């Protein structure tokens, strides 16, 4: 039997997943870390905390099943996208990583649009948004110039972790294309863009297909992690791409709805379908000729985590039970989940969250349901934006931590008005990373074959309910209206709070 390991570097935790050649999850382990918020709107993480989480996750596997670790044939990575890790010439981390949900760069976003003019859309094919590597580097240049001067490499989060494991520097198309510093049509770093914004091109790493073997476990890493020296490691990819693979969404028209820390609707497409004005993304998949469109909202599962912390609620079974007892619409309570600005379709880093419709009836359960609903309204607006851009959907699989919740799954089917599939396994991103590792060492000839051989779905389909859908349509209209009518005030309050 052959075994493959996928490592998913999420926003809230790292998960290591080991699957066998038939796609059965044999072992799984995770370790969490926090998002550091030094200042209102900031979101950072220590790259060292990711490495420690990897050590902890693999250490736990070693205790449970040491033989399996010795049998791992290849390793792949999946990672939170867009973030920035800066290394100096000694390969030391220069500052905490600035991650995808950081909202500090609204000024830089405006400045990049000004400098690029009409070329912005043509070359980048994507809206420019806060939290993404290009505006983040412009912020570092302006506010921490000495750090940029010392920078030898700028890396995506998962690429730093892989560097610690193999000692090699690199990235893949899916993560490179999502930095806004990559020219997807030409398949190279966007020299013209970088020149215009005044950033050096030589700090960007070499890149390749996700299944490309980029190195092997070094002796030092093997010692630290307790794994075998020399295991082949593939480049891996962006979490959206790895989790699509990990739930079998590998052909045009197959879609995923992910509620992780962030939330995303991703639709595989035959070619690039760019429409930056709608706030959607068009990025490359696991190879240069693979494409998908995405509507990404910033705070999905992390909105619930935020509320849970405030209300000191920990038991998800209890939380989901309470939420199921409240009727759709939470008795007139609407939550706007803009806790760290919003990407699709708002494209606005200068807004914050809102509860609208509080009353003496409002209690813990209603607040919690309203947060789940608010996140799902935001996901629905991502879906609408993708459809408006012309993306066609033939099937949709619900994935991510939020889908462990029955009421959240049903809420999605009701609000999107689509049937949802779910996979037998959880942790689709780590699973996809393990699949790409299997393809990398030619255990399977390609991703399609791996998908056919490995992915299994639950029999149950989650179906939308007509009456509830109609009720949610009314709430959804109001959700949009609150922003449209209150945008200027919300921006003013947010800016005042960040002064």
Ligand X SMILES: Nc1ncnc2c1ncn2[C@@H]1O[C@H](COP(=O)(O)OP(=O)(O)O)[C@@H](O)[C@H]1O
Binding residues among 229-248 for ligand 5SP as defined by CB under 6 A: 239-240
Cα 157 from Cα 252, distance rounded (Å): 28
Does residue 10 bind ligand X (CB under 6 A)? yes
Binding residues among 352-371 for ligand X as defined by CB under 6 A: none
Does residue 299 bind ligand X (CB under 6 A)? no
Pick the binder of ligand X from 6, 232, 248, 301 (CB under 6 A). Answer: 301
The Cα-based distances of 152 to 61, 81, 87, 155 in angstroms read: 35, 20, 6, 10
Burial label, 440 (beta-carbon count in 10 A; 0-12, 13-18, 19+)? buried
Quick note: the x/- pattern for ligand 5SP over 85-114, rule CB under 6 A, is ---------------x--------------
Does residue 83 bind ligand X (CB under 6 A)? no
Mark 90-108 as b/e (b = at least 16 C-beta within 10 Å). Answer: eeeebbbbbbbbbbbbbeb
Least distance in Å: CB of 495 to ligand 5SP? 23
Pick the binder of ligand 5SP from 58, 81, 109, 354 (CB under 6 A). Answer: 81
Binding residues among 408-427 for ligand X as defined by CB under 6 A: 408
Strands 44-45 and 263-269: unpaired
Burial label, 253 (beta-carbon count in 10 A; 0-12, 13-18, 19+)? middle
E strands in 114-239: 153-155, 171-172, 182-183, 188-189, 207-208, 213-216, 232-234, 237-238
Q: What phi, psi does 202 have (nearest 5°)?
A: -75, 0
Does residue 288 bind ligand X (CB under 6 A)? no
Q: Which of 8, 209, 239, 414 is catalytic?
A: 239
Strands 44-45 and 3-9: unpaired
Does residue 11 bind ligand 5SP (CB under 6 A)? yes
Let me know the angle formed at the C-alpha of 8 by 457 and 381, rounded to the nearest 5 degrees. 65
Q: Report the chain's terminal Cα–Cα distance, integer Å.
A: 59
- Binding-site size for ligand X (CB under 6 A) equals 18
Does residue 299 bind ligand 5SP (CB under 6 A)? no
Binding window for ligand X (CB under 6 A); candidates: 9-17, 84-92, 103-111, 362-370: 9-17
Least distance in Å: CB of 202 to ligand 5SP? 26
Least distance in Å: CB of 142 to ligand X? 29
Is-catalytic flag, 175? no
The residues that are catalytic are 239
Binding site for ligand 5SP (CB under 6 A): 10-11, 80-82, 100, 239-240, 260-262, 264, 296
What residue ranges bind ligand X (CB under 6 A)? 10-13, 260-261, 301-302, 304-305, 316, 320, 400-402, 404-405, 408
């Amino acid at each position: 039997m052959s075994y493959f390991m996928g490592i998913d570097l999420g926003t809230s935790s790292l998960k290591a997943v080991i699957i066998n050649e038939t796609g059965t999850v044999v072992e799984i382990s995770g370790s969490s870390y926090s998002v550091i918020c030094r200042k209102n709107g900031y979101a950072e993480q220590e790259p060292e905390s990711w490495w420690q989480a990897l050590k902890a996750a693999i250490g736990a596997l070693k205790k449970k099943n040491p033989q399996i670790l010795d049998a791992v044939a290849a390793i792949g990575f999946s990672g939170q996208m867009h973030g920035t890790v800066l290394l100096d010439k000694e390969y030391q981390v220069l500052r905490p990583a600035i991650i995808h949900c950081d909202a500090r760069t609204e000024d830089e976003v405006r400045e990049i649009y000004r400098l690029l003019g009409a070329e912005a859309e043509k070359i980048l094919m994507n809206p420019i948004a806060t939290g993404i590597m290009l505006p983040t580097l412009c912020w570092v240049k302006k506010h921490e110039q000495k750090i940029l001067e010392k920078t030898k490499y700028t890396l995506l989060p998962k690429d730093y972790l892989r560097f610690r494991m193999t000692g090699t520097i690199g990235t893949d198309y899916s993560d490179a294309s999502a930095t806004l510093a990559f020219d997807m049509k030409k398949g190279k770093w966007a020299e013209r863009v970088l020149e215009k914004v005044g950033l050096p091109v030589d700090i960007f790493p070499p890149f390749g297909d996700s299944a490309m073997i980029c190195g092997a476990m070094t002796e030092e890493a093997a010692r630290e992690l307790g794994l075998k020296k020399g295991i082949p490691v593939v480049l891996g990819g962006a979490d959206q791409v790895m989790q699509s693979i990990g739930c079998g969404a590998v052909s045009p028209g197959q879609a995923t709805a992910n509620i992780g820390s962030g939330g995303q609707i991703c639709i595989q497409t035959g070619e690039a379908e760019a429409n930056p004005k709608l706030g959607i993304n068009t990025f490359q998949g696991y190879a240069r000729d693979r494409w998908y469109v995405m509507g990404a909202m910033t705070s999905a599962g992390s909105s619930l985590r935020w509320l849970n912390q405030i209300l000191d609620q920990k038991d998800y079974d209890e939380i989901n039970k309470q939420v199921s007892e409240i009727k759709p619409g939470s008795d007139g309570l609407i939550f706007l989940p803009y806790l760290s600005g919003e990407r699709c379709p708002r494209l606005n880093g200068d807004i914050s969250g809102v509860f609208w419709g509080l009353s003496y009836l409002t209690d813990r359960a209603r607040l919690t349901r309203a947060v789940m609903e608010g996140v799902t309204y935001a996901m629905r607006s991502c879906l609408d934006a993708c459809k408006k851009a012309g993306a066609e959907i033939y099937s949709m699989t619900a994935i991510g931590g939020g889908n462990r919740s029955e009421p959240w799954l049903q809420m999605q089917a009701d609000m999107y008005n689509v049937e949802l599939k779910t996979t037998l396994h959880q942790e689709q991103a780590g699973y996809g990373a393990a699949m790409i590792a299997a393809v990398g060492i030619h255990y399977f000839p390609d991703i399609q074959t791996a998908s056919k051989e490995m992915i299994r779905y639950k029999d149950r389909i989650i179906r939308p309910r007509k009456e509830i859908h109609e009720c949610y349509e009314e709430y959804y209209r109001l959700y949009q209206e609150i922003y449209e009518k209150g945008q200027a005030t919300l921006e003013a309050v947010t800016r005042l709070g960040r002064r």
